[in-house]
Amino acid sequence: MKSNGKIYHLNKWAVVHDGDPYRAPEARRISLTGFRDNEEQQVITSEIVEIDGKYIRTWSGSIYILGEINEEYLVWMKKNNIKYDPENPISLKDEEDSDG
């Protein structure tokens, strides 16, 4: 996984999309939100471009290592029957569909 040299730990993270109501769901930009390292301000990353387990590379080239998940996001996942695998916490829809 290539990096721009910036590697962060992200805690209390959740997956978010750009929210553009005019964009088709499959074309929405998927990003992360959470707290980097020991920063107190919540951030939103650039678009996710590569996933390797807990390592996420974004469009800017930064790599985020996922730590603790946001509890509200985890509840939302359970309500929507989305499995949570701590070792592979994020999977994009097209990755799931490519299995069969």
Q: Where are the domains of the chain?
A: 7-92
pTM of the model: 0.81
| Residue 75: both structure tokens together | 């509840």
The predicted structure's pLDDT at residue 21: 76
Beta bridge partners of 34: 43
Per-residue pLDDT of the chain (100 residues; tens, 9 = 90+): 777 779 999 999 999 987 777 878 777 788 999 999 888 999 999 999 999 999 999 999 999 999 999 999 999 999 999 899 999 999 765 544 444 4
| Residue 73: both structure tokens together | 């996001």
Place of tokens 């974004």: 58
